[in-house]
A and B are shown apart, each in its own frame.
Chain A
Amino acid sequence: MSKRVAVVVFPGSNCDADTLAAARAAGSDAYYVWHRDTDLRQADVVILPGGFSYGDYLRSGAIARFSPVMRAVEAHALGGGPVLGICNGFQILCEAGLLSGGLMRNARLKFLSRPVRVRVEATDTPFTCLSTTGEELVLPIAHGDGRYVADAHTAAELEADARVVWRYVGDNPNGSTNDIAGICSVARNVVGIMPHPERRNEALLGGPDGARVFQSMEAGHATQHAGALRAVGGRHDGM
């Protein structure tokens, strides 16, 4: 049975259609949920897509995090349900306090839109369970506020708990702390990624690498149904 995937649409989201298409290409039963909705309609997974919700006013993600739908997203996350935030979605998850740290203006100020290399550092999340540790992916970035920052204590915790999920390889495009491109929550079910896996999920779009994220998401379902409850790699996500 396909996984039910809610793609949340905020005013200013612009990667919602690509995200929906990428989830469907991986076999998921994906559908949109409007930011004013309060019901995720029995979602197995929630994805907050990229874009510029509320025009990035005040701070990226700062206003979107108070959208009515976010109460349901928070309840889903706290119940152990998988949540993926891509780019602006990552910013919203940080603003909501579902992920540690924050995202600030790129170190060299420029808006960056180009492919980058990232390395998969943690495979015990719902969005990387089909990857192998150390696997390198080419994924596009498209952000102005992509510099992940965390204080020294938080950064040390992320490293100690292996909560850095993806790391830039070779070139750190935005000056992020410890070359971080994506992280997960303590329970490992909430994941944020700055690059856009949905924009590179087939040969026509430059390569298939991003599809791994959505295929992992869909495969996680099967694992659950087999009773293994995401105890991938000897870890349990605390559901």
Chain B
Amino acid sequence: MAPFRIEVRVMPRAALLDPQGQAVEHALHALGFPEVRQARVGKHLVLEVEAPTREDAAARARAMCDRLLANPVTEDYLLAVDGGGKGA
């Protein structure tokens, strides 16, 4: 078993209205950042896990996302797995 650090990015689905993102976008415009064409707000989760291999860690993390961390009706997610091997 080796330690892995999994970062999960959960974002509202692109097709759905993201009122938080819009509010941030408007605030940035008001602060003098007119170059912002779009802002979207999601969540960033960091998990420290133990797994035999990087692939196992990623597969387990996908299962966690599918069951709990993201709602497939309203959200998409991306995973990044770090660690394992080189004493990371």
Contacts and interface: CB of A to CB of B under 8 A. Distances in A.
Interface of A: 58-59, 62-63, 66, 94-95, 101-102, 104-109, 147, 149-151, 175
Given A102-B74, A104-B74, A149 B16 contact: yes
B68 A66 contact: yes
A151 B75 CA distance: 12
Taking chain A's interface residues, is the majority helix, strand, or loop, or is none over half, making it mixed?
loop
Given A58-B68, A62-B68, A66-B68, A101 B73 contact: yes
Nearest to B73: A102
Nearest to A150: B73
Nearest to A60: B71
Nearest to B20: A105
Contacts of B74: 59, 102, 104, 149
A102 B17 contact: no
Contacts of B68: 58, 62-63, 66
Contact of B20 (A59, A109, A151): A109
Interface of B: 12, 15-17, 19-20, 23, 68-69, 71, 73-74
Contact of B19 (A58, A62, A95, A109): A109
A106 B73 CA distance: 16
Contact of A175 (B17, B20, B69): B17
Given A101-B73, A104-B74, A109 B23 contact: yes
A104 to B, nearest CB: 6
A227 B12 CA distance: 46
Given A104-B12, A105-B19, A149-B73, 10 more contacts: A62-B71, A63-B68, A94-B73, A102-B74, A104-B17, A104-B74, A106-B19, A107-B17, A147-B17, A150-B73
Contacts of A106: 19
Nearest to A59: B71
B6 to A, nearest CB: 16
A201 B73 CA distance: 33
Contact of B71 (A63, A95, A109, A150): A95
Nearest to B16: A149
30 contacts: A58-B68, A58-B69, A59-B74, A62-B68, A62-B71, A66-B68, A94-B73, A95-B71, A102-B71, A102-B73, A102-B74, A104-B12, A104-B16, A104-B74, A105-B19, A105-B20, A106-B19, A107-B17, A109-B19, A109-B20, A109-B23, A147-B17, A149-B16, A149-B73, A149-B74, A150-B73, A151-B15, A151-B73, A175-B17, A175-B19
Contacts of B69: 58
Nearest to B69: A58
